[in-house]
């Protein structure tokens, strides 16, 4: 009997131990649809929809609270607190603004309209905690206040009884379901077990572990409590210790880059070590809606988007292309690639104007030499993360975006063991080729803007390509013009290539005037075809002075009077380039004749007319080619 009793007790102990170490896991599915789904796989496997709400950037889950169930929509975050909206002045949400005016309560009614209301008076399963300290949570200046009580929560098939929850009567953010743990060594922190700790206490999971696969904003994601899914990530999970209180991870970052699609990497930071290396630290935070960057990286990233600063946010109009590139981080020599789409919010409407805001913010440095990155939800849409609070570790790996196929879920944390896991395949080369920290853009002062939505390298290439293309086109046009000209008109003179009229013969040189007898060149300007008087009338015959003092011409010529040629008999000779030509009179040569005696004076001025032999240069027409 004793032997039998011992054997029976031993077998029961073995079964109890097996029950403890194979507690199972809980699975919540992240979806964009509003319709709930119920999937029951193995024991303690539950599925519930996690939703995006367009009015806010958070993830939500539908939870049924109390008995009879009251449906509320709770925001998911990695804190330990779970609290519900309790507005005791109203029974209908439509009366909210009247009883809780915005001037005193801010946007509380707006968040209550998203989550719905909970009334403990309508639930038979609610119990008040009379000796509890008040609920006080500070969300970056937005304070949440209330009381504590115990209530039953249902997430589809999963039911959790006697979970301590807060009932908030004043709040400035959406009510939440905390999937993390509280700070145990902080006296002012959350004093009760969190949702995750309650799962472990009830034996539904082995250790305080949950893994997160947010996936693309347009697709389905998952949260696994007590398990990991190897089909959702590449390579091996990278493990990093959580120092200090063990809740916040410290993950080293060795570089940050931006790349447009099919383009080169451009560094968003500058080296901060003597060896031209870069060292920073980061923290992964689920429920944080922003990606926090050091200021230099923030300014360079914002310049890549066609964004406009409005109402304190950088907004991109909905008609703009948001799939323009990738943000990259070097973490432990593994490259994490975050699509530009994951950095923007859902569509938001301001009247008739639709826009998305850039979910990026500036962080303060961790210390005077170490920049700090806050890896919130935008980063987690491109990474698979495991939060192990039992061993104070955070594990990450590049996510398989829109993973297909059957899940490979592995329960973890048996006997509080460290989490490990291997993904679907080895890391592709796009995750292992680490670019240099320094590049040309890193030498540009912070804030120097580039054309939004375009790569500076591609812009330079376009300019150079345009110039070379223009030169090629110009050469082809010139060649075509030269080819279509008659062979007799082809010339090496570029200016004549675009002249398509018969070229004129070379003009003859300016005519040279053969001066008439008894005249010399003193009275005419040389180098011209026009006769221009430069002195007095033509010279007279010399007058001989007689011995008796007489000046009579007849006396000087033996009594014979000289014969004076008549104007009609004067002859001028014009020598052209072809042959000498004798012209009958001056009128025919230069279109003018000697002044009549009536108009002659000592210094006569001739009315000159254009010379019929003067030439003018041909002014050709040139064709301008715009390249």
3-class SS string, 339-379: EHHHHECCCEEECCEEEEEECEEECCCCCCCCCEEEECHHH
- What pLDDT does residue 182 have? 77
Output the pLDDT for position 426.
Answer: 78
Are 49 and 33 in contact, with CB atoms under 8 Å apart? yes
What pLDDT is recorded for position 449? 40
Count of beta carbons in the 10 Å neighbourhood of residue 398: 23
Q: Helix or strand or coil: residue 256?
A: strand
pLDDT of residue 262: 77
β-strand 49-52 against 26-30: which pairing, if any?
parallel
The dihedrals phi and psi of 164, each to the nearest 5 degrees, come to -75, 125
Residue 347: its pLDDT value, please? 85
Q: Measured in Å, how far apart are the chain's first and last C-alpha atoms?
A: 107
The DSSP symbol for 414 reads G
Residue 304: DSSP 8-state: T
* Greatest pairwise CA separation for the chain in angstroms: 195
Run of H or E residues at 491: none
Helices (H), 82-227: 96-99, 102-105, 108-115, 195-201
pLDDT of residue 461: 55
- Pairing outcome for strands 334-339 and 580-583: unpaired
Peptide bond preceding 68 in cis form (omega within 30 of 0)? yes
Strands 291-293, 360-362: parallel, antiparallel or unpaired by DSSP? parallel
β partners of residue 1: none
Per-domain residue ranges for the chain?
20-205, 227-453, 459-496, 498-526+569-592+607-627
Q: Give the DSSP letter of residue 224.
A: E
Query: Edge-to-edge strand order for the sheet containing 308-310?
Result: 308-310, 313-317, 353-357, 348-350
What residues of the chain score a pLDDT lower than 50?
1-22, 32-47, 440-459, 515, 517-526, 528-536, 547, 552-627
Among 2.60.120.260, 1.10.3720.10, 3.30.70.20, 2.40.70.10, name the CATH number for the domain at 227-453: 2.40.70.10
E-assigned strands of 45-185?
49-52, 59-65, 70-77, 82-85, 127-128, 135-139, 142-155, 158-170, 176-178
Which residues are CB-contacts of 611 (< 8 A; sequence separation ≥ 6)? Answer: 529, 530, 590, 591
Q: Please tell me the CATH superfamily of domain 20-205, with its number.
A: Acid Proteases (2.40.70.10)
Same fold, 20-205 and 227-453: yes
Q: Which residues of 324-354 are buried (b: 16+ CB within 10 A; e: fewer)?
A: bbbbbbbbeebbbbbbbbbbbbeebeeeeee
So what's the pLDDT on residue 54? 54
CB 232 within 8 A of CB 399: yes
Contacts of 497 (CB under 8 A, 6+ apart): 478, 481, 482, 485, 491
Structure tokens at 180: 């993390």
Task: Specify whether the backbone of 378 is left (phi greater than 0), alpha (psi in -120 to 50) or beta.
Answer: alpha
Average pLDDT, the chain: 74
Question: Token match 């115990």: residue?
Answer: 150
């Amino acid at each position: 009997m004793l032997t039998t009793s011992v054997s029976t007790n031993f077998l029961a102990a073995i079964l109890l131990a097996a029950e403890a170490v194979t507690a199972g896991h809980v699975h919540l599915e992240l979806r964009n649809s509003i319709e709930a789904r119920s999937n029951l796989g193995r024991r303690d496997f539950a599925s519930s929809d996690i939703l995006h709400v367009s009015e806010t950037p958070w993830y939500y889950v539908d939870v049924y609270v109390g008995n009879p169930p009251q449906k509320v929509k709770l925001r998911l975050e990695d804190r330990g607190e779970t609290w519900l909206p309790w507005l005791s002045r109203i029974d209908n949400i439509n009366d909210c603004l009247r009883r809780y005016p915005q001037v005193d309560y801010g946007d509380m009614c707006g968040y209550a309209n998203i989550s719905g209301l909970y009334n403990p008076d309508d639930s038979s399963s609610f119990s008040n905690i009379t000796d509890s300290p008040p609920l006080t949570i500070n969300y970056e200046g937005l304070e949440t206040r209330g009381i504590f009580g115990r209530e039953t929560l249902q997430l589809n098939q999963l039911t959790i009884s006697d979970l301590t929850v807060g009932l908030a009567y004043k709040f400035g953010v959406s009510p939440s379901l905390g999937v993390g743990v509280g700070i145990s060594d902080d006296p002012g922190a959350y004093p009760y077990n969190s949702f995750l700790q309650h799962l472990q206490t009830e034996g539904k999971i082995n250790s305080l572990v949950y893994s997160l696969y947010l996936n693309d904003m347009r697709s389905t994601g998952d949260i696994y409590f007590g398990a990991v899914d190897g089909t959702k990530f590449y390579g091996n999970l990278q493990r990093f210790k959580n120092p200090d209180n063990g809740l916040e991870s410290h993950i080293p970052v060795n570089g940050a880059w931006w790349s447009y699609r099919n383009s080169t990497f451009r560094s968003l930071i500058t080296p901060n070590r003597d060896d031209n290396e870069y060292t920073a630290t980061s923290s992964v935070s689920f429920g944080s809606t922003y990606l926090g960057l050091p200021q230099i990286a923030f300014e360079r990233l914002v310049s890549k988007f066609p964004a406009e600063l409005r109402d304190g946010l950088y907004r991109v109009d909905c008609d703009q292309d948001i799939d323009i590139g990738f943000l990259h981080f070097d973490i432990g020599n593994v490259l994490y690639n975050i699509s530009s789409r994951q950095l923007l919010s859902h569509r938001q409407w301001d009247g008739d104007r639709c826009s998305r805001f850039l979910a990026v913010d500036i962080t303060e440095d961790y210390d005077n030499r170490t920049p700090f990155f806050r890896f919130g939800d935008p980063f987690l849409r491109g990474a698979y993360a495991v939060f192990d609070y039992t061993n104070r570790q955070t594990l990450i790996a590049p996510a398989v975006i829109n993973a297909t196929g059957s899940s490979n879920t592995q329960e973890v944390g048996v006997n509080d063991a460290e989490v490990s896991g291997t993904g679907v395949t080895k890391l592709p080369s796009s995750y292992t080729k680490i670019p240099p920290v320094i590049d040309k853009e890193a030498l540009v002062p912070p804030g120097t803007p580039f054309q939004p939505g375009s790569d500076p390298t591609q812009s330079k290439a376009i300019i150079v390509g345009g110039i070379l293309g223009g030169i090629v086109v110009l050469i082809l046009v010139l060649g075509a013009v030269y080819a279509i000209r008659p062979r007799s008109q082809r010339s090496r003179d570029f200016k004549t290539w675009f002249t398509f009229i018969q070229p004129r013969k070379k003009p003859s040189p300016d005519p040279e005037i053969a001066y008439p007898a008894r005249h010399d060149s003193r009275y005419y300007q040389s180098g011209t075809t026009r006769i221009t008087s430069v002195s007095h009338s033509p010279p007279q015959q010399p007058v001989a002075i007689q011995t008796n003092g007489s000046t009579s011409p007849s006396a000087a010529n033996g009594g014979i009077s000289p014969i004076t040629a008549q104007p009609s008999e004067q002859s001028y000779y014009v020598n052209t380039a072809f042959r000498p030509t004798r012209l009958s009179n001056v009128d025919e040569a230069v279109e003018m004749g000697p002044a009549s005696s009536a108009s002659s004076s000592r210094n006569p001025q001739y009315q000159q007319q254009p010379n019929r032999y003067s030439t003018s240069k041909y002014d050709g027409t040139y064709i301008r080619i715009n390249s």
